[in-house]
Chains A and B, each alone.
Chain A
Amino acid sequence: MNTVYLYALVGVGLFCLGLYALIVHAHLLRKILAINVMGSGIFLALVALANRTENLPPDPVPHAMVITGIVVAISATALSLTLMLKVAGETGRAELPDEGKE
């Protein structure tokens, strides 16, 4: 048990927190932020676990995945924010219609 697993468990915690917020909140901006928190948790876990073998340099393959993942996450966030602005512009509120509430 070393710090690597501490970081990985913090990543797991971030993922679960983000998933909870994604389900609970209706506002689209909160949902987008929640997905980003989930992604950050996954990145943290991947980077930490790449270094779990002692006396060896970190495994570069997960690091490369995280680097590409960060840039993809940024562009996906930009696209979803634009979609959210579009929804807010059309309906006046940044939430998806809830069929059950009608």
Chain B
Amino acid sequence: MGRHRWLLLPLFVALSVGLSYAVLSLPEHPESLQKMVVDKIEVSGVSNPVTAVLLNFRGYDTLLEMVVLLLALLGVWSLGSTAVRRETTPGPVLDTLARLLVPVLILVAAYLLWVGAHAPGGAFQAGSVLGATGVLLLLAGWRLRADLTTLPLRLVLVAGPGAFVAMAVATLLIQGQLLEYPPAQAGILILILETGATLSIGATLTVLFLGKRPQDKESE
């Protein structure tokens, strides 16, 4: 490899030039889905177009994405305990910082979830903030109580995908179309889905950071 590395250079120059040409030659006025989104935003139940696309027009994408998150977590769990992590006792600064920040972060997550209906925000942003809160808690030495790590944690982890699947079945039976909400109730239905998704995303990211099943003992 080392001797022939210079061979890569022309290849990468060609690739960069080709991709740049592809980007620059895109039509300035594309036939995009944008017009359709703008036309249908009235019946989507929310006024933020990104949330409308994520939770309404392309709801099944988000449904499958929640399943991808769950699959990644199951993959990590199935690998067993790989942790060679040394537990450190957090200093007083980290401890105090976590105590001060965690309530604020949870409030920010709730705000992002709520504001997602009409401004930038939504389930993914709120879930990421919740996940960051969980990582901060883990770094500060906090661990979930042992009796909560089995069923209660798993219920939170599947709340998002579960809510989506239930909604998909319900809309399929009542409306005849997968994830097609009645326009009058669309707003509240999207908020319910987003709440479940936020909790699941936050919990999944936190447990992913832990890198093993919470009830596994530390391997020495």
Contacts and interface: CB of A to CB of B under 8 A. Distances in A.
Contacts of B75: 79, 82
Contacts of B33: 59, 61
A78 to B, nearest CB: 4
Interface in A38-91: 45, 49, 52-53, 56-57, 59-61, 63-64, 67-68, 70-72, 74-76, 78-79, 81-83, 85-86, 89
Contact of A68 (B24, B29, B32, B61): B61
Main secondary structure of the interface of A (DSSP, over half): helix
Contact of A49 (B23, B50, B84, B124): B23
A88 to B, nearest CB: 8
A15 B8 contact: no
Contacts of B34: 56, 59-61
A64 B58 contact: yes
Interface in B40-84: 49-50, 52-54, 58, 61-62, 65, 68-69, 72-73, 75-76, 79, 82-84
A82 to B, nearest CB: 5
A53 B29 contact: yes
Contacts of B83: 85
Interface of B: 1, 5, 8, 12, 15-16, 19-20, 23-24, 26, 28-30, 32-34, 37, 49-50, 52-54, 58, 61-62, 65, 68-69, 72-73, 75-76, 79, 82-84, 122, 124-125, 127-128, 201, 204-205, 208-209, 211
Interface of A: 5, 8-9, 12-13, 15-16, 19-20, 23-24, 45, 49, 52-53, 56-57, 59-61, 63-64, 67-68, 70-72, 74-76, 78-79, 81-83, 85-86, 89
B23 A20 contact: no
26 contacts: A8-B23, A12-B20, A13-B16, A16-B15, A23-B8, A49-B26, A52-B28, A53-B29, A57-B49, A59-B37, A61-B34, A61-B53, A63-B53, A64-B61, A67-B54, A68-B65, A70-B124, A72-B68, A72-B69, A74-B128, A74-B205, A78-B208, A79-B76, A82-B75, A85-B84, A89-B82
Contact of B65 (A13, A56, A71): A71
